[in-house]
Amino acid sequence: ETGVTQSPTHLIKTRGQQVTLRCSSQSGHNTVSWYQQALGQGPQFIFQYYREEENGRGNFPPRFSGLQFPNYSSELNVNALELDDSALYLCASSLSSGRWYFGPGTRLTVL
């Protein structure tokens, strides 16, 4: 176990809806990254937060947004869901050392 938890485990939504995924970082970790892992592919970097500020973003549209809270937990919000958003969403936390601890992921299905 890595100490990183994510909720919910599974989620089913329909096109056009909005979704919020949550991540609780390992204790003391001030950096969190979110990744999208589509079926049969490696994870793709969505964005990263350090001490509540976004400090890196991958090639994802603005309808993917996030927040990091003072206790370093975080959220990933996706608006106007599309079928291609169906994927496993991974959260990872770090203490700025480059070593990442991953959560179990949230499996999102968009119908």
Partner 1 sequence: AQSVSQHNHHVILSEAASLELGCNYSYGGTVNLFWYVQYPGQHLQLLLKYFSGDPLVKGIKGFEAEFIKSKFSFNLRKPSVQWSDTAEYFCAVNRMDSNYQLIWGAGTKLIIKP
- Residue 7 CA to residue 79 CA, distance in Å, equals 18
Q: Compute the Cα dihedral for 86, 82, 100, 65 and give only its sign.
A: negative
Instruction: Indicate which single residue of 30, 50, 65, 67 sits in contact with partner 1 (rule: CB under 8 A).
Output: 50
Beta strand extents in 15-86 (DSSP E only): 19-24, 31-37, 44-50, 53-57, 64-68, 74-78
Q: How far is the CB of 104 from partner 1 (least distance, A)?
A: 4
Identify the CA nearest to 88 among candidates 32, 27, 46. Answer: 46
Q: Is 66 in the site for partner 1 (CB under 8 A)?
A: no
Q: How many residues bind partner 1 (CB under 8 A)?
A: 27
Applying CB under 8 A, the span of 18-26, 37-45, 65-73, 74-82 interacting with partner 1 comes to 37-45
**Site residues (vs partner 1, CB under 8 A):** 2, 31, 33, 35, 40-45, 48, 50, 55-56, 58, 90, 92, 94, 96-100, 102-105
